[in-house]
Amino acid sequence: MGVLGGCGGGSSDVTLKLVAADYGDSAANSSKKYWADLVERYEADHPGVTVDVSVYSWTDVDRKVKEMVDAGDPPDLAQIGAYADYAADGMLYKAGDLLSIPVQADFLSHLSTAGEVNGIQYGMPFASSTRVLFYNKELFAEAGLTPPTTWEELAANAEALKAEGVKYPYALPLGPEEAQAETMQWLLSGEGGYTDLMGTYSIDSVENVETFNWLKNELVGKGLTGPVAPGRLNRAEAFAAFAAGDVGMLNGHPSLMEMAEKKGVEYGMVPTPGADGESRSTLGVADWMMAFSKNGHRDEVGDFLDFVYSEKNVVDFSREYNLLPVTNSASRTMSASAQDKDLKPFLDQLPTSELYPVGSTSWAAVSAKIKKEIGKAVAPGGSPAGVLGGIQATATRAESAE
């Protein structure tokens, strides 16, 4: 692609604005450093192009981009949590109009598909992760346990851990921070999910109601989920409790490995247990890169993205932040590398992972409703069928408004 093709008045100097999320947890590993290095290397080979990167925390980044769009001044590129609203409003370039064919073809296919609206890819996956079951090896050894492969074994293990005085035999974070993740993980392990094969919401399906009845009766009702009600337990608190040695088992993603290691907690990881054996799929989560078309610069944006998605840059980013690569080439490199052996359980789960229905503009409203309500499904006196039915009603309304 001709990067110096100029825009408008024939000037070859172009500034691209990129707004990105911060994956670091301190100034030392802020994403600002990653982007500064990448941009410096890119600009050295592209003297007519300047890339101006603003990095914001996850708390602020989606709002910042929305404010820029609402003010009529969108960035050229945004690397944030969701793309569907902007795609539906006709604001984004199609991925195929930006990326070279080898780069677009290198995305993992189910991530590409998750980036589509009406069969056209607008969202480019930028980072991904999957979930596995973490367990505390020391607590398991003391109770003479082996890691569970079924719900029944998980409940039996939780009973044994409770008998040993473990504070959270199984930590079930259904609090508002990230309830939609824990919920989907359990629904998948019960052969359900948020949508049916046609992509229509099926939140109150028979399978999903059975899953939450089981959780309510066999885990929460028997006091196996710890001292904090699941609807008030957030993921960050559950992870911190695991790192403190107070949790027997919980669903986790790669960042939990580092937290546990820093605190000296020995952990094991196994695929998510299912109703009758290992779950057929796990939750996959992806963050997205998108390009706004308002400012033009299509060639420059496309050329820069080809560089962003080169194998080296994808591998570097994934290693820096304990995330999974979004391309086939980087996945092959990391799967074969001894350096990345800790990530292998997550990499193995990636091809069969299922993502939230992020291509639907209705998902934001549905996700918000799940975060607010799902904890009530397992509370004393709560009705799983009633709560899931209420969330389904919200989903149906949001879907018909699309």
Encode pLDDT of 156-193 as tens digits: 999 999 999 999 999 999 998 889 999 999 999 999 99
What CA–CA distance (Å, rounded) separates 264 from 271? 22
Residue type, 307: F
Q: What is the DSSP letter of 243?
A: H
Answer left, alpha or beta for residue 229, where phi above 0 means left and psi between -120 and 50 means alpha: beta
> Average pLDDT, whole number, for the chain?
92
> Which runs of E-coded beta strand occur in 4-45?
14-21
Helix (H) or strand (E) holding 236: helix 235-243
Q: Chain-centre distance of CA 210, in angstroms?
A: 25
Better pLDDT: 310 or 322? 310
What pLDDT, on a 0 to 100 scale, did the predictor assign at position 12?
Answer: 65
Q: Could you read off the pLDDT of 200-235 as tens digits, one per residue?
A: 999 999 999 999 999 999 999 999 999 999 999 999
What pLDDT, on a 0 to 100 scale, did the predictor assign at position 257?
Answer: 92
Is 249 within 8 Å of 126 (Cβ atoms)? no
Asked whether residue 10 carries a pLDDT value surpassing 80, the answer given is no
Residues paired with 135 in a beta bridge: 249, 268
Q: Could you read off the pLDDT of 65-97 as tens digits, one per residue?
A: 999 999 999 999 999 988 999 999 999 999 999
Q: How far is CA 361 from CA 83, 87, 282, in A?
A: 9, 9, 23
For residue 8, name the pLDDT band (cuts at 50, 70, 90).
very low
